[in-house]
Structure 1
Amino acid sequence: MKPYTRADRISGKIQYAITDLLSKKMQDPRIEMATISSVKLSPDLRVAHVYVAVFGDEKRISDVLDGFKNAKGFIKKSITPKLGLKYMPDLKFVHDDSFDKAAKMDALIKSASTGLSDKKHT
């Protein structure tokens, strides 16, 4: 049994290639400080959902996603040779809010633990 499906392996390659491209060749100020957190490829390898982690408000998130959508052609053209695929998947950029959710949970845990420690001291 294979430990990873072909879609999983290619997803990893796409994530690495886009991250490498971001660090070296992308100069759009809208996508600075954005992180590619994961890539999920459809089973037929036609669509790649690229999850982008961004810290900031809704306007910042919208600007980053617009920046990626505008650069989609450049990104596909740049990473296609690195992947060795017959067909390059269509890239769909999606905001990854898991980091925001984790930060909210962390804040809730800290506030709960602070409340408990206050009760112990009284």
Structure 2
Amino acid sequence: MKRSNSKDKNRGHAELGPTQRQLRAGELVRHALVEILREEEIHDEDLHGVSITVTEVRCSPDLRHATVFVEPLGAGLGDSAVQAGPAVAALNRHSKFLRGVLGKHIDMKFTPDLRFLHDESFNEAARIDALFMRPEIARDLRHDDSEDED
């Protein structure tokens, strides 16, 4: 009979996704960052007139690093990935300042290092919506619905 050791248990954990602890820490950091970005004035031309939505925070297993997914709003019309680039770069330039302020807002043993990334899920949802609106796709969906009723 083979005995499992703790290394095998930990290895399987990574495949299952984040732990409850990582999820709780991510939400704590996300809520604090929302307040910080709302209250703090960051003097950077790339963030002028841009409202930042923090959509998700993913913490590393040791909670020392956090990846912050953001969606900049108000940067103008056009491709949001292109518009988001300068705002995300500005947030990464000011990540040490934001980490310092974050440390005063949260009660964790370590304040995580912050890395900001543009949240692509909005673009992907818009792409899928556009696909469903294409005439040939809409026709196929209507055709499938009428077969289900028979």
> Which category describes the TM-score, using the shorter chain as reference length?
0.7 to 0.9
Deviations 1:26-47 (A, max 9, x none): 3445341321110000111111
Give, in whole Å, the separation in 2 of the partners of 1:115 and 1:11. 39
Give, in whole Å, the separation in 2 of the partners of 1:25 and 1:16. 14
* Preserved CA contact (<8 Å) 2:102 2:111: no
Q: Which has the higher contact order (CA 8 A, sep 6+)?
A: 1
Which of 16, 21, 35 pairs up with 1:6? Answer: 21
Give, in whole Å, the separation in 2 of the partners of 1:89 and 1:115. 46
Which of 34, 59, 74 pairs up with 2:52? Answer: 34
Which of 63, 71, 77 pairs up with 1:45? Answer: 63
Whether 1:15 aligns to 2:30 is yes
Q: Where does structure 2 lack aligned partners over 5 or more consecutive residues? A: 1-18, 144-150
Give, in whole Å, the separation in 2 of the partners of 1:108 and 1:66. 31
Q: Where does structure 1 lack aligned partners over 5 or more consecutive residues? A: none
Give, in whole Å, the separation in 2 of the partners of 1:13 and 1:115. 42
Partner of 1:64: 87
TM-score normalised by the chain length of structure 2 = 0.66
* Preserved CA contact (<8 Å) 1:50 1:92: yes
- Rg larger in structure: 2
Give, in whole Å, the separation in 2 of the partners of 1:26 and 1:106. 36
TM superposition shift of 1:13: 0.9
1:114–1:29: structure 2 CA closer, same or farther, 3 Å change rule?
A: farther
TM-score normalised by the chain length of structure 1 = 0.80
